[in-house]
């Protein structure tokens, strides 16, 4: 592989990090909120967080029967338009119909904001649902309120569920799907070292990434990438510029186990370049990417070996605390 050719410059521009943006709620004792801080679920709220997780799982499986078991036999469901559905069997039918009409709808997460006990066997839960019509649509948020009743078997079930109208999330809340990129990452091989560093912009509207490529024979190339929310196309969009004069732009799309970045641009040599790159998340510290197709000018290039990126360890710091 030659350092100066268009293929290498474009591949380096794409050698940036990606992680599955979809974050569901968690029925464990702790919920990680931003990769560093965690939320400890209060003991009285645990049954409701578990029920919310069961709802998300059943929705992902398109299992209307499982959703129905989360409701009481004579439950009531009022959707965002005020349409009322009465009884567990009718609620099951309603969700089966919804899955048939809108098979690609995603529920990304449920965030419980409060749980109030109204008695020994009655509780009011309130929160927000983050969802989208499909992986290609903008994320939306809607508030909900649910009254739970505790049955004779000791299980809490939904007696009344009210959904409020959905609203599009703001650009920063859309961009938070890629907030995993923040930090320092590296790929090392026998011939090259690729380092990337990502930070939020001061206004919170963009993720800013810098990358540097160094070869064993002393050559170096750098570049920058700015990722933000495109309100017209309603997608996450990336603009990339390399130090050789090439520039590219593309769109991020979620997949079942990662992200797809489709890009197009022009190399410093004036060649058009298009590519679709797949990013697979191995763990929070490691990811692998490779491209599906790469076209430089009129030439279709063959696939290259997958690239592995790992999170860099923090630099050691002096301990300046005083000891006696």
For residue range 64-116, what is the model confidence (pLDDT) as tens digits? 999 999 999 999 999 998 899 999 999 999 999 999 998 888 888 898 999 99
- Which H helix or E strand runs over 12? helix 6-14
What is the band of 219 on the pLDDT scale with cuts at 50, 70, 90? confident
Residue 17: name the closest of 184, 212, 206 by CA.
184
Pairwise CA distance, residues 94 & 47, whole Å: 25
CB 88 within 8 A of CB 160: no
Pairwise CA distance, residues 260 & 265, whole Å: 17
pLDDT at 126: 95
Token pair of 20 as six digits: 């599955």
For residue range 189-218, what is the model confidence (pLDDT) as tens digits? 878 888 889 899 988 889 999 988 888 888
Half-sphere exposure of 215 (CA within 13 A, CB side): 12
User: Quick one: what percent of the chain has pLDDT higher than 70?
Assistant: 83
Kindly give the pairing relationship between strand 156-163 and strand 71-78.
parallel
CB 11 within 8 A of CB 304: yes
Pairwise CA distance, residues 193 & 197, whole Å: 13
Domain ranges for the chain, please list them. Answer: 6-21+173-311, 30-169
CA 129 → CA 106, 144, 146, 242, distances in Å?
10, 7, 12, 39
pLDDT at 29: 56
* Contacts of 100-103 spanning 24+ positions with Cβ under 8 A: 102/133, 103/62
* Angle of CA points 163, 167, 171, to nearest 5°: 145
Token pair of 261 as six digits: 């970045």
Hunting for tokens 């709620």 — which residue is that?
25
DSSP 3-state assignment of 278? strand
Domain 30-169 in CATH 3.10.450.50? The answer is yes
Output the pTM of the full model.
0.55
Residue 258 CB-density burial (10 A; 0-12 exposed, 13-18 middle, 19+ buried): buried
48 pLDDT more than 60: yes
Pairwise CA distance, residues 139 & 133, whole Å: 8
Question: DSSP letter at 62?
Answer: T
Ordered DSSP codes for 214-262: EETTS-EEEEEEEEEEETTTTEEEEEEEETTS-EEEEEEEE-SSEEEEE
What is the band of 303 on the pLDDT scale with cuts at 50, 70, 90? low
CATH number of 6-21+173-311: 2.40.128.20
Hunting for tokens 């029920």 — which residue is that?
51
């Amino acid at each position: 592989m030659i350092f100066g050719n268009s293929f290498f410059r474009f591949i380096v521009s794409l050698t940036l990090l990606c992680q599955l943006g979809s974050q569901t709620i968690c029925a464990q004792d702790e919920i990680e909120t931003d990769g560093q801080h965690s939320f400890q679920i209060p003991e009285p709220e645990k049954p409701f967080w578990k029920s919310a997780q069961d709802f998300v799982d059943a929705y992902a499986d398109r299992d209307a029967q499982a959703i129905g078991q989360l409701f009481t036999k004579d439950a009531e469901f009022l959707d965002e338009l005020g349409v009322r559905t009465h009884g567990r069997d009718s609620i099951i039918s309603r969700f089966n119909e919804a899955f048939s009409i809108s098979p690609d709808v995603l529920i990304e997460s449920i965030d419980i904001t409060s749980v109030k006990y109204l008695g020994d066997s009655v509780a009011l839960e309130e929160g927000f649902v983050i969802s989208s019509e499909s992986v290609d649509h903008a994320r939306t948020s809607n508030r909900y309120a649910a009254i739970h009743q505790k049955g004779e078997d000791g299980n809490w079930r939904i007696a009344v569920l009210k959904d409020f109208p959905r609203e599009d999330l703001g650009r920063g809340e859309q961009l938070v799907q890629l907030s995993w990129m923040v930090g320092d990452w590296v790929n090392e091989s026998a011939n090259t070292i690729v380092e990337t560093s990502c930070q939020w912009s001061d206004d919170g509207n963009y993720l800013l990434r810098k990358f540097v490529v160094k070869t064993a024979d002393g050559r170096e190339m750098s570049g920058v990438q700015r990722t933000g929310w495109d309100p017209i196309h309603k997608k996450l969009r990336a603009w990339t510029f390399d130090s050789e004069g090439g520039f590219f732009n593309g769109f991020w799309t979620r997949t079942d186990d990662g992200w797809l970045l489709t890009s197009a641009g022009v190399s410093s040599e004036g060649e058009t370049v298009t590519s679709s790159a797949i990013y697979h998340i191995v763990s929070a510290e490691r990811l692998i990417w490779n491209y599906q197709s790469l076209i430089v000018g009129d030439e279709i290039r063959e696939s290259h070996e997958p690239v592995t990126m790992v999170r860099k360890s923090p630099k050691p710091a002096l301990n300046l605390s005083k000891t006696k």
